[in-house]
Amino acid sequence: MPLVSPFRTSFGTQTARDVLLLRAVTADGEGWGECVAMSDPLYSSEYVDATADVLRRFLVPALADGSEDLRRHGAPAVAALLRKFKGHRMAKAALEMAVLDAELRASGRSWARELGAVHERVPSGVSVGIYDSIPVLLDVVGGYLDAGYVRIKLKIEPGWDLEPVRAVRERFGDDVLLQVDANTAYTLRDARHLSKLDDFDLLLIEQPLEEEDVVGHAALARQVRTPICLDESIVSAESAAAAIELGACSIINIKPGRVGGYLEAVRIHDVAAAHGLAVWCGGMLETGLGRAANAALGALPGFTLPGDISASDRFYQTDITAPLTIEDGYMQVPTGPGLGVTPIPEILDAVTTSTEWIQLR
């Protein structure tokens, strides 16, 4: 699916997204899952072709082997059946999502109700990539503010950090909710430089250091006033608890694909809430399927900061589902069975490059 415009971060530039979808067909109905892995292993070690391979060879057959547990316990059994396979959280998350969606659609329950949502709509923030010039950046940010987005997140990297942030503050004022995302582009040696961001009253700086460097983030948190938010470092409820105990973060960005699924995302939300930490829902250029699921997740009580839950037209000229829109800076949480949205067959057919069916015995 081609993007409306190139999306540049510290780890690369995307002009299109190669989307892996899973369709789970059961005796009672069907459900959809979306894998958020990128085409290349840049954001994480996972990538689309690898997720397809591990699903085909290991994960889907494991569900067949554990079919009795699956019938007895439903979607919550998926994680347990797949636990013996190391890593591959994005693939696992997509499979669990498809199974859970099928289960909820069959019973008439909504994704939001299942996860524990308490809000009917969620505040919508937007992630702004790296541009070739500050004037272009300011035009883009202005357009998003005019469209009603309540929070702006700027991607940063060495050489593109203080000046763009200063320019946005000077143009749009201190009232704009503003945060930055480094996607692991810095090291602890940059602490003094990163402390200069304190002058701009940011909501947070997201994942400034390498994902494995949780101790480094704890050290950085003692040297800057801007709250540290972890993204790539958090892959489970256990890793969230450890990071909190070390003082490595005061905010967590929860991306369901990164942590192995929406049910694990809820557990991380609960851990953060128990420790008094704010969380928010990050985005991975999802189609309407993942976007609807994220909106439901972002409606849980602990999600107190605006997430990257932007409208469909933020990334895609034509989404594969009915467009999800924002009004007055908020997105309505779908209330229909399951995800509350489904792919539009003719649109899905137009962008589908291949399909493969796996029959469970």
Q: pLDDT digit string (tens) for 114-125?
A: 999 999 999 999
In a domain, 356, yes or no: no
DSSP 182-238: -TT---GGGHHHHHGGGGG--S-EE--S-TT-HHHHHHHHTT-SSPEEESTT--SHH
Considering the domain architecture, whether residues 68 and 187 belong to the same structural domain is answered as no
Q: Give the domain CATH number at 161.
A: 3.20.20.120
Which regions of the chain are under pLDDT 50? none
Considering the domain architecture, whether residues 150 and 172 belong to the same structural domain is answered as yes
Question: Where is the domain boundary, 57, 80, 108?
Answer: 108
Strand stretches in 272-318, DSSP E? 278-281
Check if 92 is active-site.
Answer: no
In a domain, 343, yes or no: no
Residues contacting residue 4 through CB under 8 Å, at least 6 positions apart? 313, 314, 315, 316, 317
In a domain, 327, yes or no: yes
Closest CA to 176 of 151, 197, 194: 151
What is the rounded distance in angstroms from the CA atom of residue 61 to the CA atom of residue 70? Answer: 13
In a domain, 346, yes or no: no
Which pLDDT score, from 0 to 100, does residue 360 have?
79
Q: Report how far apart, in Å, the C-alpha atoms of 145 and of each of 85, 181, 263, 292, 355 are.
A: 44, 18, 33, 22, 39
Question: Where is the domain boundary, 79, 108, 137?
Answer: 108
Considering the domain architecture, whether residues 260 and 181 belong to the same structural domain is answered as yes
Closest CA to 119 of 323, 335, 321, 310: 335
Cβ count near 328 (within 10 Å) = 9
Residue ranges making up the domain that contains 164:
114-332
In a domain, 361, yes or no: no
Amino acid at 119: H
Which pLDDT score, from 0 to 100, does residue 361 have?
67
Q: How far apart are the first and last CA of the chain?
A: 33
In a domain, 349, yes or no: no
Cα-only R_g, the chain: 20
In a domain, 337, yes or no: no
For tokens 């602990």, what's the residue? 302
Strand 278-281 relative to strand 177-181, pairing: unpaired
Question: Taking phi first (over 0 means left), then psi (-120 to 50 degrees means alpha), and beta for anything else, what does residue 90 get?
Answer: alpha
Which pLDDT score, from 0 to 100, does residue 10 have?
76
Q: Give the domain CATH number at 35.
A: 3.30.390.10
What is the rounded distance in angstroms from the CA atom of residue 310 to the CA atom of residue 277? Answer: 23
Considering the domain architecture, whether residues 55 and 198 belong to the same structural domain is answered as no
- Catalytic residue, chosen from 84, 92, 153, 155, is 155
- Catalytic residue, chosen from 84, 92, 196, 255, is 255
Considering the domain architecture, whether residues 173 and 304 belong to the same structural domain is answered as yes
Question: Where is the domain boundary, 108, 128, 145?
Answer: 108
Which pLDDT score, from 0 to 100, does residue 47 have?
96
Number of folded domains that form the chain: 2
In a domain, 344, yes or no: no
Considering the domain architecture, whether residues 238 and 139 belong to the same structural domain is answered as yes
Considering the domain architecture, whether residues 39 and 122 belong to the same structural domain is answered as no
Secondary structure letter of residue 313 according to DSSP: G
Considering the domain architecture, whether residues 121 and 252 belong to the same structural domain is answered as yes
Check if 155 is active-site.
Answer: yes
Considering the domain architecture, whether residues 124 and 65 belong to the same structural domain is answered as no
Half-sphere exposure at residue 248, Cβ-oriented, CA atoms within 13 angstroms: 27
What is the rounded distance in angstroms from the CA atom of residue 170 to the CA atom of residue 255? Answer: 31
What is the rounded distance in angstroms from the CA atom of residue 275 to the CA atom of residue 36? Answer: 28
Considering the domain architecture, whether residues 41 and 177 belong to the same structural domain is answered as no
